[in-house]
Amino acid sequence: MIQKERLWTKSYVLLILGNLFTFMSFQMLIPTLPPYIKSIGASGFEIGLMTALFSVGAIVIRPFIGFMLEYKARKMLVLIGALGLLFMTFLYPLTNIIFVLLAFRLVHGVAWGWSTTANGTASVDLIPTSRIGEGTGYYGLSITLGMIIAPSLGLVLFEKASFDILIYVSGFLGFIAVILLGIVRYQMPVSVANVKKEELKFSYSASLIEKSCLFPAFLTFLVAFGYGSIVSFIVIFGNERGIENIFIFYLVNAIFATVARPITGKLFDTKGPRGIVLVCSLLTVAGLWMLSLSHNSIHIAIAGALFGMGYGSILPTLQSWALFITPPRRRGIANGMSFSSIDLGIGLSGLVFGLLASFLEIATLFQISSFFVLMVFVLVLIKPKQGQLRNKNRVSEQRLSS
């Protein structure tokens, strides 16, 4: 009997927890900054610009950090990102000048792009190649849970307490993230450790795009675009329908995502990504339609369960797919592409559906967004099979601690 390579090391667990607190700290601000700057006089255009500038900052920086991950040790890069996020969090209450807040958001996007790319690459370095689907899945669960739980927590603090209290809580979570990430004993592939900076030539386009994983990155963009409508409008939708306790959607979503993700992670390692993506895309579509038809808390809970099983697994699966087919030296760039696809999808979704919201009901927006996720199902279904991802045909690369 072949013994599995060890996955659950101390450093791997600490990195997952550190990343969870990073996402919790940051994602609390996603639904609360727009109403905050609106309350101090921002126009609708300026509110949309805040989302757009953040996405621009994150996407612009990722090729540079992806390039540095081709030759640099991981620890310093991870800590710079975490400290940058923590510093930017505490700047927002210092001014009511909209222009300055927009500048803060741009720089915050830069820190976010840096942190997510560095953390994601560091996680892959700690995962045995034979268990990359399972390992990336558990790491991805920290991302999914952060994106699901934190927005509702942020809204509760914003509505029941104050924006300053929200910032203090967000900063506290970010501080815990820095401590946890500082304890991790990082590793890096030998192929990266042996590379010298002088041997590499920086190309922005080459560091922005990894051609081998274009397909899963595009699918990630489509899924994130569909999810963006929920991030932007679920609270407004609940108010329109008179549905109390809209947080139930996030709660049930998190529970089912937590249960489903370990199962789909192991399936990835044995069966490959195709079947998982097909099933999860349909579950996500069903969740969006159920949400659009909801009129009470029970309907919301059912929508959350469907969405948790679908969306909660499809994004980590697509990231695992992208990393699996990317050479180890280029995984930093592949990670950057994956996260840029998420940020671009959610950012554009907010702008597009924000314009449509002036003419359509929120429920209709959820239904329209479901077709972007349905496109994922169709594209994967018609894509020719290129063989399953089998661990027995993969050889783990030696890694060095750093």
Q: Which of 155, 135, 124, 183 is nearest to 339 (CA)?
A: 124
Task: Write the DSSP string, 128-187.
Answer: -GGGHHHHHHHHHHHHHHHHHHHHHHHHHHHHHS-HHHHHHHHHHHHHHHHHHHHH---E
Task: State the total domains in the chain.
Answer: 1
Domain assignment of residue 1, yes or no? no
Query: How far is Cα 287 from Cα 210, in angstroms, rounded to an integer?
Result: 31
What does the radius of gyration of the chain's CA atoms come to, in whole angstroms?
Answer: 20
β-pair type (399-401, 187-189)? antiparallel
Query: How far is Cα 67 from Cα 64, in angstroms, rounded to an integer?
Result: 5
Using 50, 70 and 90 to split pLDDT, how confident is the model at 111? very high
Domain assignment of residue 199, yes or no? no
Domain assignment of residue 400, yes or no? no
- Residue type for 283, please? L
> What are the Cα distances from residue 301, in Å, to 90, 288, 310?
34, 12, 14
Using 50, 70 and 90 to split pLDDT, how confident is the model at 391? very low
Residue 397 has pLDDT above 70, yes or no: no
Query: How far is Cα 342 from Cα 225, in angstroms, rounded to an integer?
Result: 8
Q: Would you mind telling me the total number of residues written for the chain in this entry?
A: 402
Residue 3 has pLDDT above 70, yes or no: no
Residue 388 has pLDDT above 50, yes or no: no
Per-residue pLDDT at 393: 39
Q: Which of 104, 94, 70 is nearest to 202 (CA)?
A: 70
Residue 360 has pLDDT above 90, yes or no: no
Domain assignment of residue 394, yes or no? no
Per-residue pLDDT at 398: 58
pLDDT tens figures, 41-84: 887 678 767 777 888 898 889 888 888 888 888 899 999 999 99
pLDDT > 70: what percent of the chain? 94
Q: In the predicted model, what is the mean pLDDT of residues 300-310? A: 93
Domain assignment of residue 362, yes or no? yes
Query: How far is Cα 399 from Cα 193, in angstroms, rounded to an integer?
Result: 9
CATH number, residue 289: 1.20.1250.20
Print the domain residue range for 307. 10-190+208-385
| E strand or H helix that includes residue 391 | none
pLDDT tens figures, 331-355: 778 878 888 898 888 878 877 887 7
pLDDT tens figures, 263-281: 887 888 788 889 999 999 9
Domain assignment of residue 3, yes or no? no
Using 50, 70 and 90 to split pLDDT, how confident is the model at 104? very high
Q: What are the residues facing 189 on neighbouring strands?
A: 399
Per-residue pLDDT at 118: 93
SS (H, E, C) 108-125: HHHHHHHHHHHHHHHHHH
Q: Are 155 and 170 in contact (CB under 8 A)?
A: no
Domain assignment of residue 251, yes or no? yes
Of the two residues 271 and 218, the one the predictor is more confident about is 218
Q: In the predicted model, what is the mean pLDDT of residues 357-364? A: 86
Owner of token pair 């970010």: 174
Domain assignment of residue 89, yes or no? yes
Residue 387 has pLDDT above 60, yes or no: no
Per-residue pLDDT at 181: 97
Residue 392 has pLDDT above 60, yes or no: no
Q: Which of 314, 309, 287, 331 is nearest to 379 (CA)?
A: 314
Using 50, 70 and 90 to split pLDDT, how confident is the model at 400? low
Task: Write the DSSP string, 252-302.
Answer: HHHHHHHHHHHHHHHHHHHH-SHHHHHHHHHHHHHHHHHHHT--SHHHHHH
Per-residue pLDDT at 399: 63
pLDDT tens figures, 14-43: 999 999 999 999 989 887 887 888 788 887
Mention every residue, 6+ apart, whose C-beta is less than 8 A from residue 386: none
Query: How far is Cα 290 from Cα 126, in angstroms, rounded to an integer?
Result: 38
Residue 2 has pLDDT above 80, yes or no: no
Per-residue pLDDT at 290: 96
Using 50, 70 and 90 to split pLDDT, how confident is the model at 152? confident
Of the two residues 246 and 215, the one the predictor is more confident about is 215
Query: How far is Cα 312 from Cα 189, in angstroms, rounded to an integer?
Result: 29
Residue 395 has pLDDT above 70, yes or no: no
Residue 192 has pLDDT above 90, yes or no: no
